[in-house]
Amino acid sequence: MIRLEKRPTPSRGWSYLAPLVAVLATMVAGGILFAFLGNDPLVTIRTIFWDPLFGPLASYFRGQLLIKAGPLILIAVGLSMGFRAGIWNIGAEGQYIMGAIFGAAMGLAFYPMEARWLIFPLMIIAGAFGGFLWAMIPGILKTRFNTNEILVSLLLVYVAEQILASMALGLLRNPEGSGFPGSRNLRQYESTANNELIAGWGMHWGVVAAFIAVIFAYILLTRHIMGFNIRLAGASPRAAKFAGVNPNRLILFCLGLSGALAGLAGMFEVAGPAGQISIDFNVGYGFTAIIVAFLGRLHPVGILLAGLLMALTYIGGEAAQATLGLPAAAIQAFQGMLLFFLLALDVLTNFRVRIGREGHA
């Protein structure tokens, strides 16, 4: 008989090993899934995980890697703070959209003035503020009215999508776009463009911001009292209360921070890779970032690696779509599966598996 025995403290070894085993298990399960879809599993796995990095077209794909990983890491770092403290912001997708709208609106308000030194920083502030504002709604409702932040933040994604549609068709529509929906292209406007800093690397200001966020989060968690409070509230809410941690402040801080970072990600995306506000601007980074946060063990450095891996599945998935005809949705299912395996394997971090009856072992 198999029994689970609670470990006194989580196993360090397994907490590092679990994500790796989960990735391997997902590759096996994914291979079976791809075989069902009529693709050769080994070829598909190689196309997704190997070819973008080392294959013949690697020079193109490597640039894409940072472009995709940037927003994922930026959003996931913010989310991980709240997840650690048991505050569940799952509406990052909405905050991402609002950040993009605020940032783009700020930049377009100055059109066609040429003053990048002023306009671009203002856009960054506006983007962060947009996401912050959108995350404050569940935050304030939670602290004032005890409303469930999971449901409110998620429902606000649908509201943000409607606002996005309204902006693309109305207020922010390109007046010279001959009636087509979508805003002016921010990349073609010198003062707002968030272009690659080194051609071909995929490194734009959003990726720089993601790296800064990782360092900032690491210092916050290990060296700052707020980081200690976050970890304390997650490990033992009662102890946090006795230690004088104000739960409302913690909620507002975690939601505000994750919202601001998601908003930043949206702003850098709209001014860079996406280029304009359009109806289908958001592609689900806010949701994938949840997987990234967990895969990275809610740790900033882990999130950095997890973000790169998840970006790889995105571009590998696109490559497999182009060369093997693998449906786009397969990658989404693949990513969801990865989170399942990770959560399942976490049992080994917190429990010891014992075989045999109690007392005989």
Partner 1 sequence: MGLSIQIDFLLATLMVSSTPILLAAIGEMVTERSGVLNLGVEGMMIVGAICGFAIAVETGSPFLGFVFAAIGGALLSLVFGFLTQYLLSNQVATGLALTLFGLGLSSLMGQGYIGVKPPSTGQINIPVLSDLPYLGRILFSHDLMVYFSLVLVASVWAFLKYTRAGLILRAVGESHDAAHALGYNVIFVRLSAIAFGGACAGLGGAYLSLVRVPQWTEGMTAGAGWIALAIVVFASWRAGRVLLGAYLFGGITVLQLNLQAAGVAIPVELLSMSPYLITILVLVIISSDRNRAALSAPASLGRAFHASH
In whole angstroms, the minimum distance from the beta carbon of 151 to partner 1 comes to 5
Asked whether 204 and 194 are in contact (CB, 8 A), the reply is yes
Of 155 and 203, which CB lies nearer to partner 1 in the complex structure? 155
Helix H or strand E segment including 4: strand 2-6
Asked whether 111 and 189 are in contact (CB, 8 A), the reply is yes
Give the separation between CA 60 and CA 123, rounded to whole angstroms: 29
Q: Which amino acid is at 1?
A: M
Of 90 and 105, which CB lies nearer to partner 1 in the complex structure? 90
In whole angstroms, the minimum distance from the beta carbon of 275 to partner 1 comes to 22
In whole angstroms, the minimum distance from the beta carbon of 56 to partner 1 comes to 28
Of 203 and 345, which CB lies nearer to partner 1 in the complex structure? 345
Of 186 and 342, which CB lies nearer to partner 1 in the complex structure? 342
In whole angstroms, the minimum distance from the beta carbon of 174 to partner 1 comes to 18
Residue 353 backbone zone (phi > 0: left; psi -120 to 50: alpha; other: beta): beta
Of 2 and 199, which CB lies nearer to partner 1 in the complex structure? 2
Of 94 and 202, which CB lies nearer to partner 1 in the complex structure? 94
How many other CB atoms are found less than 10 A from the CB of residue 359? Answer: 5
Q: Which residues bind partner 1 (CB under 8 A)?
A: 4, 6, 37, 83, 88, 90, 141, 144-148, 150-152, 154-159, 162-163, 165-166, 170, 287, 290-291, 294, 327-337, 339-340, 343-344, 346-347, 350-351, 358
In whole angstroms, the minimum distance from the beta carbon of 112 to partner 1 comes to 28
Helical H segments across the chain, by residue range: 12-36, 41-49, 51-54, 58-84, 92-109, 116-145, 149-169, 205-223, 225-235, 237-242, 247-271, 285-295, 300-324, 328-350
In whole angstroms, the minimum distance from the beta carbon of 284 to partner 1 comes to 9
Give the DSSP letter string of 91-141: -HHHHHHHHHHHHHHHHHHTTT---HHHHHHHHHHHHHHHHHHHHHHHHHH
